Chain A
Amino acid sequence: MSSRKKLLLMGRSGSGKSSMRSIIFLNYSAFDTRRLGATIDVEHSHLRFLGNMTLNLWDCGGQDVFMDNYFSSQKDHIFKMVQVLIHVFDVESKSIKKDMEIFVKSLTNLQKFSPDAKIFILLHKMDLVQIDKRDELFSMMMEKLQNISNPFQFKLVGFPTSIWDESLYKAWSQIVCSLIPNMNLFNNNLIKFNQILDAEEIILFEKTTFLVISSTSSIKQQKQPDLQDEETLDPKRFEKISNIIKTYKQSISKLRTNFHNLVIRGSNGTHFYIDILTDNLFIMIVLKDKQLTDSTYVSSHEELVVLENIKAARKWFEKIENGK
């Protein structure tokens, strides 16, 4: 079945591969990852994502013994039918040469066994680099890696990441989104939905991982992109929201339950609605107060209207998910 996606998670030992996987897919906190030991050989995890998509994540242990194995005896087993290669580089690594060598080896194998694979590079543990040097280091590394991979005709997409901030969510969001086949349908329907609600912003999240699937800004802005209103908002807000809601989910689990929805009336006339959209999606709607609705009577009923609208939109999105 084509909805099964094989993702290879590679990189040298200690670069943080299993930590990432545990945070994104197993709800670990960054602190918890210290408990993780070395991965022996390949650890497979099958993750249901958006209902009909299955991610087969192959977390490949990075010690040299295993690595040599991957490139020799097991190479057709490992590198066959790969959709995505996620290669993790430790920014603090002492032996960059060796790192590169392994990267080249996996590219060689990929070209042979699955030439259509997408390649993502994660420069991990960025929190250990001084803030003002991060950009420079990142662009330098990416340039170098792109040069190496040029002979293999692969296009690289890179992200600086760290488990201690929201950069990890940004990277994984993009990786996973690249695998969703009906992305355009989601986007179009979201824009349609926003035309009805006239919201400041609508964001779709996957339910278990809280990765951002799709988003739309306000209609006014879409018509006049030169308005530059966007600048006033935090460009990292999606990842931050993912992070915040995941923290919330974890905190709620102490009461041995899950959360259903969250409605916030903020300090500056911004209202937030986070609700379950379908079995696999959460939706977040940000509304700005319109001058009209000043009386408390109207605004308290507006809450119900928005929640009803979300219910109504449920059908559309369920249809897309089921691929009909």
Chain B
Amino acid sequence: MEATYLPNPNDSNATILLMGLRRGGKSSICKVVFHDMQPLDTLYLESTSKPTSEQFSSLIDLSLMEIPGQLNYFEPEYDSARIFQSVGALVYVIDSQDEYLNALTNLSMIIEFAYKVNPKIHIEVLIHKIDGLTEDYRIDAQRDIMQRTGDELLDLGLEGVQVSFYLTSIFDQSIYEAFSKIVQKLIPELPSLENMLDNLVQHLSIDKVFLFDVNSKLYVATDSSPVDIQTYEVCAEFIDITIDLDELYVDENGEQTNKEIKSISRLSNHSLLYLRQMIRGLALVALIRNDDENLNDMDSMLTVVNYNVNLFKQALMQMWQNSKFVKKTNDVNESLSVDRLH
């Protein structure tokens, strides 16, 4: 898209604005999370010169705008007010390995401006590149940055502004975790989704269930038990493994039947990994605990799981039809969003 691309303020608020000083790692984040790029390859990314915008249709139609770091946002040719009005979340990336005092001044300036035009905006700060810091130093850096931002905002008379902080790195899962949380804030149906998942957990012996976006491995929802990073990693990798194996035997000449992908793996400690394809490029992945060694019970349990997941899928479809986003996207071909699964 050209530099003049501006989302319509009346559009959905599911736009994320990615900002930060130059060389903070914004483009790398985009590429790793949304384009499956290897973290090491991001070393060779060129510096971004124009604001870029990308569209992702997952459960919500998400778009991500990246503003180059060396840009002066308050030049008149950029209609900053309009940009800030139209976005749901502002993600500011701070390079934790660099001197971050400049970044903090820049951040508070942006927050002040953004908050004035759009008080509903979510402000998220990524304390990025923490892979290079030792464990103790990470906490110190976070505390320092939080403290200084708080002070700056206080000076500007903006103590009511909510700012969330995340420690991230593209070399581990923390960036996915942070982005999942950011995206979740933009989904208006989230409480009911979580409710539905909680229901599922209650009636089956599920340890943890995620609703994943298959392309990006971000989870759009999970049940209310705390997220254990290991379980998340295993579930995310389970999607990859299922799809990679499936793709090996896809017959290119054969007709596309496009059946729903389903994959079940039994582990030695009698638990199950369960994956079921949902609508709009989503997949449900669950870790199901089973203390009973009996194999027959396992099969009857699976039947119950299948039945319940079917109900969940139907509910999801219904919810989707009633959601406010669907009216605008009816004409968009749904297959766009699920192409990685097929």
Contact = CB atoms under 8 A, between A and B. Distances in A.
B47 interface: no
Interface stretch (B147-155, B158-166, B232-240): B232-240
Contact of B252 (A232, A244, A256, A265): A232
Given A240-B244, A247-B237, A264-B242, A232 B261 contact: no
A133 interface: no
Interface stretch (A50-58, A66-74, A168-176, A267-275): A267-275
Q: Is the interface of A mostly helix, strand, loop or mixed?
A: mixed
Given A267-B342, A268-B254, A258 B268 contact: yes
Given A259-B266, A268-B254, A254 B246 contact: no
Given A232-B252, A260-B267, A265-B262, A255 B237 contact: no
A221 interface: no
Contact-size category for A: 35 or more
Contacts, number: 115
B248 to A, nearest CB: 5
Given A264-B242, A286-B249, A254 B234 contact: yes
Contact of A264 (B263, B287, B341): B263
Nearest to A265: B262
Interface residues of B, number: 40
Contacts of A264: 242, 245-246, 261-264
Contacts of B72: none
The interface centre, meaning the residue of A255, A300, A304 with most chain B CB atoms within 10 A of its CB, is A255
B330 interface: no
B266 A260 contact: yes
B241 A247 contact: yes
Given A263-B263, A268-B257, A269-B257, A248 B271 contact: no
Given A260-B268, A267-B261, A200 B249 contact: yes
Contact of A266 (B240, B246, B269): B246
Contacts of A232: 251-253
B46 interface: no
A251 to B, nearest CB: 4
B55 interface: no
A304 B303 CA distance: 13
Contacts of B322: none
A257 B259 contact: no
A264 B248 CA distance: 13
B299 interface: yes
Nearest to B236: A251
B259 A237 contact: no
Nearest to A286: B249
Closest 6 CB pairs of A and B: A266-B246, A264-B263, A251-B237, A260-B266, A257-B269, A262-B265
16 contacts: A240-B248, A248-B238, A252-B267, A254-B234, A257-B268, A257-B271, A260-B265, A260-B268, A261-B266, A263-B265, A265-B260, A266-B246, A267-B250, A268-B257, A270-B249, A272-B245
Interface of A: 200-201, 232-234, 237, 240-241, 244-245, 247-248, 251-252, 254-270, 272, 286, 289, 300, 304
